[in-house]
Structure 1
Amino acid sequence: MSQLKQKTTLTPWAETIIEANKNACNIWMVYPISNSRFEVKSSTHKSVIVGFQQRTCTCRWWQIDGLPCGHVIKVLTMNRYEDCLEFALKDYFTKTLRKTYEEFVNSLPSASEWEIPDDLMIVKPPIMERRQPGRPRNTGRIPS
């Protein structure tokens, strides 16, 4: 199995997301609240708070995705912080991806070789006694 040659420590998918976030935040303004909290205002005057101690952003993309959102990247670039990799989840690192697939995975045999148990139950869909809610079908339509 050939090893993937990576220029960065993040996976290619995570790299493209971070690059898109970097490009989106060029015209935003950053205002410090404290040493670890910053307010980021976009061109539409929408205000977002970034907290580095709790690793939170009020847009919630940083917490949901695990990758730094554009607000976090803007604060890091304003503070002359070049590398935002330590603010990404370890799941997006190439090393973690390689560890995930380093063990051998057995392939499934063909369907004719499967062992099917004798006491297998067949589950049928429920009987619908009542009509489902929603708009009724137009069965009385006059064809054109």
Structure 2
Amino acid sequence: MSLQLAIGHYQHYELHCSALKLHYELHCLMVHLTNDVLFEVHNGDRKAIVDIGSRTCTCNRFQLEQLRCAHAIAVLQKANHDPYDYCSPYFTKLKEAMMHAYEETVFLVGHEDAWKVPENIKSMALYPPQGRLRVGRPKKRRCKASWEINAKQREQVKCGSCN
């Protein structure tokens, strides 16, 4: 799969996931055309006004999240508009940004015998950095996960005369 195709799939997947989350809400919405760019969206007793010309909605989610608004998605579906034309540059510019990152050819490094290393670099002796020994017991290598911290609760130590 080419990089451009993979990025395109990712871009569409992001938008598709946000639309799926709103799928249930979309079925409850009734869209009424006011004029070419202004729509009324009814959800029971609630009403929202969507202006696809200025990309606004009275719930303010269309302006803030740029297409995660159920009202805007319902209007765009009703008006047979492509939702990708109205979404955030995050969804549309991602493909271009990733393509620019891999625009130039990345060459593989050949076998170690073919490397041309200067003599002053070859003669250098490399040693690991000197670390300081810390005081106290060494820390365990593995950090416990949040669910493991209190998993082993300690019993209170009591003397023989206590119950």
Instruction: Tell me the TM-score normalised to structure 1 length.
Output: 0.57
- Root-mean-square deviation (Å): 2.9
2:52 alignment counterpart:
52
Percent identity between matched residues is: 24
1:61 equivalenced with 2:61 (yes/no): yes
Gaps of 5+ in 2: 104-128, 130-163
1:125 alignment counterpart:
none
1:78 alignment counterpart:
78
1:91 alignment counterpart:
90
- What is the CA–CA distance in structure 2 between the aligned matches of 1:102 and 1:60, rounded to whole Å? 37
Please report how far the alpha carbon of residue 68 of structure 1 lies from its aligned counterpart in structure 2 after TM superposition: 4.5
- What is the CA–CA distance in structure 2 between the aligned matches of 1:69 and 1:42, rounded to whole Å? 13
* 2:22 counterpart letter in structure 1: N
1:16 alignment counterpart:
17
* 1:18 counterpart letter in structure 2: A
Please report how far the alpha carbon of residue 83 of structure 1 lies from its aligned counterpart in structure 2 after TM superposition: 2.7
- What is the CA–CA distance in structure 1 between the aligned matches of 2:49 and 2:19, rounded to whole Å? 19
Residue 59 of structure 1 aligns to a residue whose secondary structure is coil
- What is the CA–CA distance in structure 1 between the aligned matches of 2:63 and 2:100, rounded to whole Å? 23
1:34 alignment counterpart:
35
- What is the CA–CA distance in structure 2 between the aligned matches of 1:31 and 1:6, rounded to whole Å? 36
- What is the CA–CA distance in structure 1 between the aligned matches of 2:87 and 2:58, rounded to whole Å? 17
The one of the two structures with greater contact order (alpha-carbon pairs below 8 A, sep at least 6) is 1
Gaps of 5+ in 1: 104-111, 113-144
State the Cα deviation string for residues 36-78 of structure 1 (Å, max 9, x = none): 10110113x1110000111101111111112251111111222
